[in-house]
């Protein structure tokens, strides 16, 4: 009797386990949609239960981000066999080509991506996400005009999506160098997401480039309020202070930035601030630290200026020589070195006023 019960129960239990419980199916559906868990595995289990175009698309996207491009494209093909008019499948294929282009450096994939996004737009012209993704491809291609057109269409279709304004703001600022309109987009992000530190930081950078250093400092301050351990925000605010010639506040911000991230590229700019304040020892120490991180011609140049200001012609000439070894076309440094060498030969006094080299702190 016991063996008979086992023969009846065990096969049924195995079949139930293979099918999965309703709760497991719901968990897999959530994970496959990208809401946590192992997305590829969850989609694969769903495909075994009931193949659907949407599930193949979700797995294709997940595979692409793992750089499994052949499998991802095969999943899109499977999705289109089930639904030839799936805009999401064409969009996924465009995204796969875009990711592959960024990973492999094959610029031809950008063109393939644009073609796929074009098919998706024809099937779903009101889908803002398609325009947003295609805009990013145009951005990567350097086609600023088409990029802005697609970002504009994404904004029109989804006017309350902060991410759309965020990405367009970055594109306007970095690609089109249009900080005025970028500032407006970042302001829209801040209105929709008042605690978005990155938006404050990006708007601050745009204000700083535009010469509005006070607003830049205020925005960097908001970013720091939201993320008090953001080394980059302190470093950027320090630069804004330096551009206002407020070197005390600049140095304080650089100190804080470097305490949070000692590898940050802030030693050189802090050294420049120390130089214009006449603190030569600290300026030289910062130049030394900058050179240890990266053999930067600017660090040798600034240190050469400091040595020149201290009257150490030999050390200054040596540093200007290092500059020319790294950047032989820097005419100003070559001429300065030759003048300095000539004075040193005749024994003439050598001095440079820090204020004359204010640009070193910028």
Q: Two tokens at 355?
A: 């204020």
- pLDDT at residue 158, rounded to an integer: 96
Close Cβ partners of 178 (under 8 Å, ≥ 6 residues apart): 172
Residue percentage of the chain with pLDDT more than 70 = 88
Close Cβ partners of 181 (under 8 Å, ≥ 6 residues apart): 172
The lowest-confidence range among 3-12, 81-90, 103-112 is 3-12
The lowest-confidence range among 60-69, 103-112, 345-354 is 345-354
Q: Which residues of 135-163 are buried (b: 16+ CB within 10 A; e: fewer)?
A: bbbbbbbebbeebbebbebbbebbeebbe
- pLDDT at residue 12, rounded to an integer: 41
- pLDDT at residue 2, rounded to an integer: 44
Q: Two tokens at 108?
A: 């031809």
- pLDDT at residue 9, rounded to an integer: 40
**Is 90 exceeded by the pLDDT of residue 312?**
yes
Q: What is the C-alpha separation between 107 and 109, in angstroms, rounded?
A: 5
Taking every pair of Cα atoms in the chain, the longest distance, rounded to a whole number of angstroms, is 115
Contact 225, 201 (CB under 8 A): no
What mean pLDDT is predicted for residues 190-214?
Answer: 97
Q: Which fold has domain 265-362?
A: 1.25.40
State the pLDDT confidence band at 26, using cuts at 50, 70 and 90.
confident
- pLDDT at residue 29, rounded to an integer: 85
The lowest-confidence range among 48-52, 203-207, 209-213, 255-259 is 48-52
- Segment 109-157, tens digit of pLDDT: 999 999 999 999 999 999 999 999 999 999 999 999 999 999 999 999 9
**Is 50 exceeded by the pLDDT of residue 222?**
yes
- pLDDT at residue 10, rounded to an integer: 42
Q: What is the C-alpha separation between 351 and 305, in angstroms, rounded?
A: 9
Tokens 């129960």 correspond to what residue?
A: 9
Phi-psi group of 217: left, alpha or beta (phi > 0 → left; psi -120 to 50 → alpha; rest → beta) = alpha
Contact 29, 46 (CB under 8 A): yes
**Is 80 exceeded by the pLDDT of residue 354?**
no
Instruction: Tell me whether domains 20-124 and 265-362 share a fold.
Output: yes
Q: Two tokens at 348?
A: 């003439």
- pLDDT at residue 295, rounded to an integer: 84
Per CATH, the architecture of 20-124 is what? Answer: Alpha Horseshoe (1.25)
Q: Which residues of 194-224 are buried (b: 16+ CB within 10 A; e: fewer)?
A: eebbbbbbbbbbbbbeeebbebbbbbbebbb
- Segment 32-45, tens digit of pLDDT: 988 777 999 999 99
- pLDDT at residue 20, rounded to an integer: 52
Q: What is the C-alpha separation between 354 and 332, in angstroms, rounded?
A: 17
Q: Two tokens at 79?
A: 């999705």
Q: Which of 265, 219, 276, 221 is nearest to 243 (CA)?
A: 276
State the pLDDT confidence band at 198, using cuts at 50, 70 and 90.
very high
Q: What is the C-alpha separation between 140 and 272, in angstroms, rounded?
A: 35
- Segment 227-260, tens digit of pLDDT: 999 999 999 999 999 999 999 999 999 999 999 9
Close Cβ partners of 179 (under 8 Å, ≥ 6 residues apart): 172, 173, 206, 207, 209, 210
* Domain ranges within the chain, ordered by starting residue: 20-124, 265-362
Backbone angles phi, psi at 285, to 5 degrees: -60, -40
Q: Two tokens at 58?
A: 């979700």
Give the global pTM. 0.79
Close Cβ partners of 33 (under 8 Å, ≥ 6 residues apart): 58
Give the CA count within 13 Å in the CB-facing half-sphere of 31: 16
Residues in the chain: 362
- C-alpha triplet 173, 61, 159: angle, nearest 5°: 40
Q: What is the C-alpha separation between 210 and 74, in angstroms, rounded?
A: 48
First to last CA, the chain: 89
DSSP-assigned letters across all residues of 148-172: HHHHHHHHHH-TT-HHHHHHHHHHH
Q: What is the C-alpha separation between 39 and 293, in angstroms, rounded?
A: 40
Q: Give the chain's count of helices (H) and strands (E).
A: 20, 0
Q: At what angle do helices 197-210 and 231-243 cross, to 10 degrees?
A: 20
The chain-wide mean pLDDT, for the chain, equals 90
């Amino acid at each position: 009797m016991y063996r008979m019960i086992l023969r009846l129960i065990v096969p049924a239990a195995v079949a139930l386990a293979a099918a999965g419980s309703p709760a497991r199916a719901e968990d897999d559906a959530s994970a496959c949609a990208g809401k946590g868990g192992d997305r590829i595995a969850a989609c694969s289990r769903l495909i075994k239960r009931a193949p659907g175009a949407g599930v193949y698309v979700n797995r294709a996207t997940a595979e692409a981000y793992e750089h499994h491009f052949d499998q991802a494209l095969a999943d899109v093909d499977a999705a289109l066999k089930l639904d030839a008019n799936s805009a999401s499948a064409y969009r996924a294929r465009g995204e796969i080509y875009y990711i592959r282009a960024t990973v492999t450096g094959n610029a031809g994939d950008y063109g393939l991506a644009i073609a796929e996004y074009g098919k998706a737009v024809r099937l779903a012209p009101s889908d803002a996400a398609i325009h947003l993704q295609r805009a990013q491809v145009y951005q990567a291609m350097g086609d600023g005009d088409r990029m802005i057109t697609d970002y504009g269409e994404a904004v029109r279709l989804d006017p309350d999506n902060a991410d759309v304004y965020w990405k367009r703001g970055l594109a306007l600022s970095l690609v089109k160098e249009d900080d005025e309109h970028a500032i407006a987009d970042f302001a829209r992000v801040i209105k929709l997401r008042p605690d978005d530190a990155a938006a404050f930081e990006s708007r601050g950078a745009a204000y700083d480039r535009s010469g509005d250093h006070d607003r830049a400092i205020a925005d960097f301050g908001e970013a720091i309020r939201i993320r008090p351990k953001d080394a980059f925000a302190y470093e950027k605010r320090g630069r804004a202070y330096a551009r206002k010639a407020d070197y005390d506040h600049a140095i304080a911000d650089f100190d804080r930035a470097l305490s949070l991230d000692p590898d940050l590229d802030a030693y050189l700019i802090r050294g420049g601030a120390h130089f214009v304040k006449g603190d030569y020892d600290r300026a030289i120490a910062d130049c030394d630290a900058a050179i240890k991180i990266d053999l930067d011609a600017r660090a040798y140049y600034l240190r050469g200026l400091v040595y020149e200001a201290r009257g150490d012609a030999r050390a200054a000439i040596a540093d200007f020589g290092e500059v020319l070894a790294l950047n032989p076309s820097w005419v100003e440094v070559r001429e300065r070195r030759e003048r300095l060498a000539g004075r040193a030969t005749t024994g003439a006094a050598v001095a440079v006023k820090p204020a004359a080299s204010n640009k070193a702190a910028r």
